[in-house]
Amino acid sequence: MQSANTEKGHEPDEGRTSGEGGLFGARPAARAAPVTPVAPGGFTYSPADEEKRRGVRRMKITATGLLVFVALVYVLAKWAQHSGAGAWAGYVAAAAEAGMVGALADWFAVTALFRHPLGLPIPHTAIIPNKKDQLGASLGDFVGENFLSADVVRGRLHAVGIGGRLGTWLAQPAHADRVTAELATALRGALTVLRDSDVQAVVGEAITRRADAQEIAPGIGKMLEKIVADGGHRRVVDLVCVRAHDWLVEHADSVMDAVQGGAPGWTPRFVDKKVGDRVYKELLRFVTEMRDMPEHPARGPSTASSPTSPPTSSPTRTRGSAWSA
C-alpha cells in the first residue's frame, strides 16, 4: 500500500514516519517525559506539591461556589420578602447576608496575611512578607525566654530526674552488663582502628601542653617546704631506716658476698670473709642506730634541739674511729 501510494505521488504521512519508524516497521511513538512545573520563584514543584496545589484549587472553587450560592439565596430571599412571601423570607435573607459577610471577612483576613487583596496597597495587609524579620525575631525571643532559657531547661531536667532514672536502670544487673558489653565492644573497635603512634602523639601532646601551661614546680616546692617545716619528712626517714634494717637482716649473705667479691684477688679468702663480716656488722649497727635514734647526726639537723645545746658525739664515729685505728 505504501509503495503504491508513493507511485501515485502521495508523500508518506509525517506523523507515521516520525512516530512509527517510517519504512522500517511500525513502532509506538515515544511518550514525552513529564514536564515538572516551575514556580515563578525559580524552584520546581514535586508531585506531592502538585497534589496539594490541586487540592487548594478545589477548595477555592468550592468556597467561591458557596459564596455565589449564598449570594443567590440572598437575592431570592429579598425578592420574596418584597413580594410579600412572609416573615420567613427575612430570616433567610439575614442568614444569607451573614454568610456572605463571614465569607468575605475570612477571605480578606487570610489574604491580607500574605499579600495585598486584589492587588490594592491597603494598609496593614501583606503582613508576613513585610514583617517576616520582625516576626522571626519575636518568635525566637519568645521560644528562647520561655522554653530554652537556663532556668527553664534546668527545671525541666530536674523534674525529669535523668540521673535517678539512669541510676535505677543501671542498678539492674542485666542493664549494667549490657552497657558494659557495648562499651567494651566500642572501646575494642576504637583501639583496633587507632594506631599506637597516633595515640602516643595525642597523649604526649596533651600532657606536654598541660605541663607547659601549668607551673607545677612552685606548688610542689611550697608543699615540700611545708612538709619539712612540720617534720613530716622524718616519717619518711623512719620508714626508710626500718626497711633498710629489715633488708640487711634478711640479706646478710648477699652483703658479705658483695664485699668479698670486690676484694683484690691476691688477698686470702679468710681475710675477705673477715672484712665482709666486719663491714656487714658496722653497716647493720649504723642503720640500727639511725632507726632507734631520732637525733642521729645522719638524719640531719633536728628542729627539736636548741641552738645552745652542746653537740652530742656520735657512737658511730667513736666506734668507727676506734676500729679504724
Q: How far apart are CA 52 and CA 55, in angstroms?
A: 5
Alpha-carbon gap, residue 165 to 242, rounded angstroms? 53
The C-alpha atoms of residue 66 and residue 104 are separated, in whole angstroms, by 12
Q: Cell 686470702, residue?
A: 268
Q: Encode the chain (325 residues) as per-residue pLDDT tens digits.
A: 444 444 444 444 444 444 444 444 444 555 555 555 555 556 677 888 899 999 999 999 999 999 999 999 999 999 999 998 888 999 999 999 999 999 999 999 999 999 998 888 888 888 888 888 998 999 999 998 888 888 888 888 888 888 888 999 999 999 999 999 999 999 888 888 888 788 788 877 877 777 777 777 788 888 888 887 877 777 888 888 888 888 888 888 888 888 777 777 777 878 778 888 888 888 888 888 888 887 878 776 654 443 434 444 444 443 343 333 3
Cβ neighbour number for residue 21 with a 10 Å cutoff? 13
The pLDDT of residue 36 is 57
How far apart CA 195 and CA 200 sit, in angstroms, is 9
pLDDT value for 64:
93
Enter the DSSP assignment of 38.
B
Cα separation of 272 and 264, whole Å? Answer: 9
Sign of the Cα torsion 264, 269, 274, 276 reads positive
Give the pLDDT confidence score for residue 71 in this predicted structure.
95
What pLDDT, on a 0 to 100 scale, did the predictor assign at position 234?
A: 78
Number of residues that this document lists for the chain: 325
Residues 6+ apart with CB under 8 A from 271: 263
Compute and round to an integer the Cα radius of gyration of the chain.
53
What is d(CA 176, CA 65) in angstroms, rounded to the nearest whole number?
67
d(CA 62, CA 71): 14
Measured from the Cβ of residue 296, the count of other Cβ atoms closer than 10 Å reads: 19
Q: Which residue has the cell 646478710?
A: 252
Q: What is the pLDDT of residue 316?
A: 42
Asked if residue 53 lies in contact with residue 72, where contact means CB atoms within 8 angstroms, the answer is no
Q: For 41, which DSSP code?
A: T
- Residues 234 and 253: their CA atoms lie apart, in Å, by 30
The cell numbers describing 292, all together, are: 632507734
Greatest CA separation for the chain: 157
Q: How many CA atoms lie within 13 A of 63 on its CB side?
A: 12
Contacts 24+ apart (CB under 8 A), 106-110: 107/63
Q: How far apart are CA 223 and CA 225, in angstroms?
A: 5
pTM (2 decimals)?
0.35
Supply angle C-alpha 151, 152, 157, rounded to 5.
100
Q: Quote the distance between the C-alpha of residue 224 and its chain's center.
A: 41
CA 236 vs CA 24, 169, 222, 233: distances in Å? 109, 47, 18, 5
